[in-house]
Structures are given as structure tokens and as C-alpha cells.
């Protein structure tokens, strides 16, 4: 092996957690996503989703915008530039892991 660090060591715990990776991925696809849409598609309670969004916002990976649609309060989540970069980096590391498994898979068992 030419590199000393295994790609798994580069995974970002904030990004890699299943729900947060889902939030970042959906926000990347949508540019701006409504809280209820995330809650429904990730099959979470509002409280659980809120905690994960708070972690991502504290890390500077998403922005949270509150407003109204008609008379109903709404919350929208969008990626920051740092969030886009973190998601891209995480996907790159996952691709490295997949390549290692596929390359070395013949001898496993």
C-alpha cells in the first residue's frame, strides 16, 4: 500500500451519520428544502430532525431560514459552501472505500 492512512480515517463523523448525510444530500439536490419534506422523507420525528439540523448548523454546513408560506410558519434548510465541500469530500472518501472493497473483494470471504 502506498498511502499510510486508510480512507475510513478521513470520514467526518458530523457528515457521515446516516440522518445528517441524508439531510446534506437532499439539501444538495434541492438547493433549499423544507423541514417537513426532510422529516417525511427521512422518516424522522420533528424533534429528532431538529437535533440533527442543529448539529449541521453549528458546524456551519447548513443555513436555516424561518419564514411563512401563507399563514403557516415554515423552516427551510440549505447547504452552505462549507456544507457542499464537506459532502463532496465525504462522497470522495466513500468512493475510495468502495474501490478498495471492489479491488480486494476477490480474496475475502
Q: What is the pLDDT of residues 16-32, one digit of tens each?
A: 899 999 999 999 999 89
pLDDT score, position 1: 44
Task: Please say whether the beta carbons of 67 and 76 come within 8 A.
Answer: yes
CA angle, 28 then 36 then 26, to 5°? 15
Q: Would you kindly state where each structural domain of the chain is located, as residue ranges?
A: 12-95
SS3 34: strand
SS3 108: coil
Which class in CATH covers the domain with range 12-95?
Answer: mainly alpha
Portion of the chain with pLDDT greater than 90, in percent: 71
SS3 78: strand
pLDDT tens across 45-91, in order?
A: 999 999 999 999 999 999 999 998 888 889 999 999 999 999 999 99
Strands 33-34 and 62-69: unpaired
pLDDT score, position 106: 55
- Distance CA(108)–CA(18), nearest Å, equals 26
Task: Please say whether the beta carbons of 35 and 49 come within 8 A.
Answer: yes
- Is the pLDDT assigned to residue 2 strictly greater than 80? no
- Distance CA(70)–CA(43), nearest Å, equals 25
- Bridge partners of 6, per DSSP, are none
Rounded to the nearest integer, the mean pLDDT of the chain is: 90
Amino acid at each position: 500500500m502506498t498511502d499510510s492512512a486508510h480512507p475510513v480515517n478521513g470520514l467526518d463523523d458530523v457528515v457521515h451519520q446516516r440522518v445528517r448525510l441524508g439531510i446534506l444530500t437532499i439539501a444538495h439536490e434541492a438547493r433549499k428544502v423544507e423541514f417537513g419534506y426532510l422529516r417525511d422523507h427521512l422518516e424522522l420525528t420533528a424533534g429528532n430532525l431538529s437535533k440533527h439540523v442543529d448539529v449541521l448548523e453549528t458546524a456551519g454546513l447548513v443555513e436555516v431560514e424561518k419564514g411563512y408560506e401563507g399563514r403557516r410558519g415554515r423552516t427551510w434548510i440549505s447547504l452552505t459552501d462549507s456544507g457542499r465541500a464537506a459532502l463532496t469530500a465525504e462522497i470522495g472518501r466513500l468512493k475510495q472505500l468502495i474501490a478498495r472493497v471492489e479491488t480486494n473483494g476477490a480474496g475475502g470471504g
